[in-house]
Structure 1
Amino acid sequence: MKIALIGASGFIGSGLRAEALSRGHQVTALVSNPAKLEAAPGLTAKAVDVIDTAALADAMAGHDVVISAFSGHAQADVREAYGRGIRSIIAAAKQAAVPRLLVVGGAGSLEVAPGKQVVDSPDFPAQWKGSAEGARDALNWLRDEPTLDWTMLSPSAMIFPGERTAKFRLGGNQLLVGANGKSEISVADYAVAMLDEAEQGAHRRQRFTVGY
């Protein structure tokens, strides 16, 4: 499978890149600075600004799946930066007529009670609020798309560097909490769930989540 991966050098993007390559896929890393990536079999790196929709569409063309791990964390106004980026990514995916668009979401838009999302909790960390609200905006925009074949995968509340166990649970729009009372998933296992989705297409035009 030919996969275009946006944000392939980032925290989650690096895990997605490693998992995709380990499965033998051809990965085109669409990043701002290709020099950050070490050469690897099956990996091609291209410098692309996600805000340049036309250039992004050209880079996406010919791939079976586009996975976006774009975050906007490097910008002062994360929600605004993420919004501009994801709107450009959605537009480019449609322009390039890519078969599928998979998006790294956030846990903030998951429900902890009927009608109550994690990001709206009074103790939600202020430092992550911008990205959480941006990811929620993206989910709403994707849901409004009439024809785009999209999927968003939200992690659990805590996503951390950790081992690949390939043992986890999948859920829908509700936050998953383990028997230990924690909502968590490793980056490596998140990547397993995302690449499973890329290969199997079990959650088309919907959001789902993964956790222990």
Structure 2
Amino acid sequence: MKVALIGATGFVGSHVLTELTNRGHEVTAIVRDPSKVTLSSPLLTVKQGDVFNTEELAAIFKGNDIVISAYNPGWTNPNIYADFLKGSASIQEATKKSGVKRYLTVGGAGSLEIAPGLQLVDTPEFPEAYKPGATAAREYLNILKNETELDWTFLSPAIEMHQGTAGVRRGTYRTALNNPVFDENGRSILSVEDLAVAIVDETEQPKYIKKRFTAAY
């Protein structure tokens, strides 16, 4: 497949890039700074791009089978809320303008329901530092639910994607739609490597068209 990947040098995107090329897919990586792409592969084309430049993105996306967005303005960015929504809207519109039908975007775990009517981001335990980004991702999911032209998928990572799982690629995971997947110890956990596996699995064999899903062990 031919894949356009946004955010290929980020925490999630860099692992998605590795997983895609390891499986033989041709990837066009759209990044702010091409010098930060460390992977070398004959399957990889690197393009400098601005997520806020919709026309530029559309031209880069054209001819691909899918656009995968691992866009994140940066958790320390004071404008993360506005930038996430603006950038995501631009990527979505560029995908439509390019003629690509398939669009997969990675959002946060904050919008997962941990009890009826209660989302993770609204609990007292949710870290304040992550609330602006998590709230933006939740709002973008609600926007995406009204998208009829694209075959979109929104993937929420496990709650504990960052903790104690670095370097682990099991190649297995379980999925759910709107509720976290918990293991036998009551934890929702997944390595970023296996998040990349879930993303590429959904790319190759779509199961969640016009749906949100989540993955964990």
| TM-score normalised by length of structure 2 | 0.95
1:41 and 1:188 map into 2 onto residues whose CA distance is: 22
1:16 and 1:207 map into 2 onto residues whose CA distance is: 18
Corresponding position: 1:103 with 2:108: no
- Secondary structure of the 1:45 match is strand
Quote the residue 1:118 is aligned against. Answer: 120
Quote the residue 2:216 is aligned against. Answer: 211
Higher alpha-carbon deviation: 55-64 or 33-42? 33-42
Q: Render the CA deviation track for 1:139-183: whole Å, top value 9, x for unaligned.
A: 111101122110011111111323110121111100111111211
Matching residue within 129, 132, 138 for 1:130: 132
> Equivalent residues in 2 for 1:146-165 (5 A)?
146-160=148-162, 161-165=166-170
Q: CA deviation at 1:77?
A: 1.6
Q: Render the CA deviation track for 1:50-96: whole Å, top value 9, x for unaligned.
A: 00000011111100010000011153121111011001011101111
2:192 and 2:85 map into 1 onto residues whose CA distance is: 23
Q: Could you list the runs of 4 or more consecutive aligned residues of structure 1 that deviate by over 6 angstroms after TM superposition?
A: none
- Secondary structure of the 1:159 match is coil
1:77 and 1:54 map into 2 onto residues whose CA distance is: 23
Identity of aligned residues (%): 46
Quote the residue 2:60 is aligned against. Answer: 59
Number of equivalent positions: 212
Matching residue within 164, 173, 179 for 1:174: 179
List alignment gaps of at least 5 residues for structure 1. Answer: none
2:132 and 2:189 map into 1 onto residues whose CA distance is: 20
Higher alpha-carbon deviation: 158-167 or 148-157? 158-167
One-letter amino acid matched to 1:17: L
List alignment gaps of at least 5 residues for structure 2. Answer: none
Q: For the Cα contact (< 8 Å) 2:49–2:57, is it kept in 1?
A: yes
One-letter amino acid matched to 2:170: T
Q: Render the CA deviation track for 1:100-122: whole Å, top value 9, x for unaligned.
A: 00001110000001111000001
Superposed CA RMSD in Å reads 1.0
| TM-score normalised by length of structure 1 | 0.97
